[in-house]
Chains A and B, each alone.
Chain A
């Protein structure tokens, strides 16, 4: 479970706080989505959870434990994060790559046990990438690579999973597949926090949406609470209408056209 209380994050030299008093709870068994315009503080929250951004005040806790008090390896045993960017400089075999997810449990020298093997096999199966196990990471398509990265995080066997924009650059089918995967992971009992731009998909899959604007929570609640034309218009600064998704009836956002003066 993720619990943020009045979290303030700022970067040295910056005039404004990147995250400015954000509170929310990402519960177990739920898919919580963190949305908002570019620069609204989504990735800074992820960085704070990784202890890679300075928390000025407030707190971020995983399962009731303040992240600042946790040594790095211990943090990695309770929360698995799939960061936004990751370049594979040197290709490795997919199974070996997913095995790196066991690093927080193995440390520098412990030899992998049967339990580690099982965790990796399960992670490969959950993410649906068993058949890629013998491939090299540089021979994967964009969608496969994202699933393999999620498998690596699942191999950590943490009760909380955080994903930062896992569907950027993916086509419709791959994007849907990833959202379905995250949704089923939440159903299986994980606390899943998803950072995403895809408001319409988020509205269909998430249990709770936290909508950020300039470092603050603009609005939060169920998709129906958050997906309101007036709120979204003022946050994104662009005219929109809200309709119903014809298939499942979830609220859907349609940005309108507006002439741009050159």
Chain B
């Protein structure tokens, strides 16, 4: 509610409630219903998607440094978006879709690279992680090359997008992201116990009746799907996917079902708070959301680290 109320133009809390119910000043109604509310909801969804994705990935890949953007998703999505910009696309839906396709494409590329690296047999999770990093690095290089020859306007658009922002929230984007998170996040929660077992290592997982390769690939793909959806809706918002799962673990959650859900909620809270800060601290200038999430998240993480140790 506070996040909806505050901004370059402040609306009182009572005003927000009135506006939501369709009463009062037409400007306030427009600000609340068409600008603020979709933005807050989008921020919450992005945070939830990244948090859940990170929690599942760290468990499945058995790596506390794993995060959604390490899979090549971010680089791929950025390539998709930049290609769309370069072809002069300006439609919201086109760019979102291009970024999503780019992100998923990069993940499949990473899976293929990992399979070649694993000598045509079983792609183990470490190879998968390295493949993701390699594909991501390649994608970033491709963007640099493409941007070097691009028009200033394209560069600015691409840069803004890469810094991440919930500013361009529309209800259509919100709906698209909500649907992706419901499907991919729901699937991760459904298979969460398998991730518990997978986090013990592949041989141990096999000894407990889990097909480790299949389960690992499934978790990897679902997490990537979540990440690609958030990136296509709001650009790159770093830090959330990496640290939020650790915050959730610090609260004593170990089993992945509650962990994924909690990481989603914490991620949502963090991004909404960060977005609020991004648009109010230096208003009317907006700060890049991705930077604020890190600025807010790091001290929080440090406080918790001290409390647990």
Interface residue ranges, A against B (CB under 8 Å): 11-13, 47, 50-52, 72-77, 80-93, 96, 100-101, 103-104, 106-109, 153, 156
Q: Given A13-B119, A87-B62, A90-B254 in contact, is the A156-B204 Cβ separation under 8 Å?
A: no
How far apart are B262's CB and chain A's nearest CB, in angstroms?
A: 14
Tell me if A72 and B193 are in contact (CB < 8 A).
no
Partner of B208 from the list A89, A91, A104, A108 (CB cut-off 8 Å) is: A104
Q: Which residue of A lies closest to B208 (CB)?
A: A103
Q: Which residue of B lies closest to A70 (CB)?
A: B209
Tell me if A90 and B249 are in contact (CB < 8 A).
yes
Q: Confirm or deny: B190 has a beta carbon within 8 angstroms of a beta carbon on chain A.
A: yes
B249-263 residues with Cβ-Cβ distance < 8 A to A are 249, 254-255
Tell me if A108 and B62 are in contact (CB < 8 A).
no
Tell me if A77 and B209 are in contact (CB < 8 A).
yes
Tell me if A81 and B64 are in contact (CB < 8 A).
no
CB neighbours of B27 from chain A (8 A): none
How far apart are B28's CB and chain A's nearest CB, in angstroms?
A: 46
How far apart are A197's CB and chain B's nearest CB, in angstroms?
A: 18
Q: Confirm or deny: B121 has a beta carbon within 8 angstroms of a beta carbon on chain A.
A: yes
Given contacts A13-B119, A89-B63, A92-B254, 6 further A-B contacts (CB under 8 A): A81-B207, A87-B62, A91-B254, A101-B208, A103-B197, A103-B210
CB neighbours of A91 from chain B (8 A): 254
Q: Confirm or deny: B152 has a beta carbon within 8 angstroms of a beta carbon on chain A.
A: no
- Total count of chain B residues near the partner, CB < 8 A: 31
Interface residue ranges, B against A (CB under 8 Å): 58-59, 62-64, 119-121, 190-194, 196-197, 199-204, 206-212, 249, 254-255
Q: Which residue of B lies closest to A105 (CB)?
A: B209
How far apart are A14's CB and chain B's nearest CB, in angstroms?
A: 11
CB neighbours of B194 from chain A (8 A): 108
Q: Which residue of A lies closest to B62 (CB)?
A: A89
CA distance A88 to B200 in the complex (A): 6
Tell me if A52 and B202 are in contact (CB < 8 A).
yes
Partner of B209 from the list A72, A85, A93 (CB cut-off 8 Å) is: A72
CA distance A50 to B205 in the complex (A): 10
Q: Which residue of B lies closest to A46 (CB)?
A: B203
Tell me if B119 and A72 are in contact (CB < 8 A).
no
Q: Which residue of B lies closest to A79 (CB)?
A: B207
Q: Given A52-B206, A103-B209, A108-B190 in contact, is the A12-B120 Cβ separation under 8 Å?
A: yes
How far apart are B71's CB and chain A's nearest CB, in angstroms?
A: 18
Interface hub of A50, A51, A89 (most chain B Cβ within 10 A): A89
How far apart are B307's CB and chain A's nearest CB, in angstroms?
A: 16
Partner of B255 from the list A11, A77, A83, A96 (CB cut-off 8 Å) is: A96
CB neighbours of A12 from chain B (8 A): 119-121
CB neighbours of B190 from chain A (8 A): 108
Q: Which residue of B lies closest to A107 (CB)?
A: B193
Q: Which residue of A lies closest to B201 (CB)?
A: A86
Tell me if A86 and B203 are in contact (CB < 8 A).
yes
CB neighbours of A104 from chain B (8 A): 208-209
Tell me if A87 and B201 are in contact (CB < 8 A).
yes
CB neighbours of A90 from chain B (8 A): 58-59, 64, 199, 249, 254
Q: Which residue of A lies closest to B193 (CB)?
A: A108
Partner of A89 from the list B121, B199, B207, B209 (CB cut-off 8 Å) is: B199
Nearest first, the 6 A-B pairs at minimum CB distance are: A76-B209, A83-B203, A73-B209, A81-B207, A104-B209, A89-B62
How far apart are A220's CB and chain B's nearest CB, in angstroms?
A: 25
CB neighbours of B193 from chain A (8 A): 103, 106-109
Tell me if B197 and A72 are in contact (CB < 8 A).
no
CA distance A101 to B193 in the complex (A): 12
CA distance A109 to B257 in the complex (A): 10
How far apart are B257's CB and chain A's nearest CB, in angstroms?
A: 9
CA distance A93 to B207 in the complex (A): 20
How far apart are A127's CB and chain B's nearest CB, in angstroms?
A: 16
How far apart are A161's CB and chain B's nearest CB, in angstroms?
A: 11
Tell me if B196 and A89 are in contact (CB < 8 A).
no
Tell me if B254 and A93 are in contact (CB < 8 A).
yes
Q: Given A87-B62, A90-B64, A96-B255 in contact, is the A76-B207 Cβ separation under 8 Å?
A: yes
How far apart are B87's CB and chain A's nearest CB, in angstroms?
A: 43
CB neighbours of B203 from chain A (8 A): 47, 50, 52, 81, 83-86
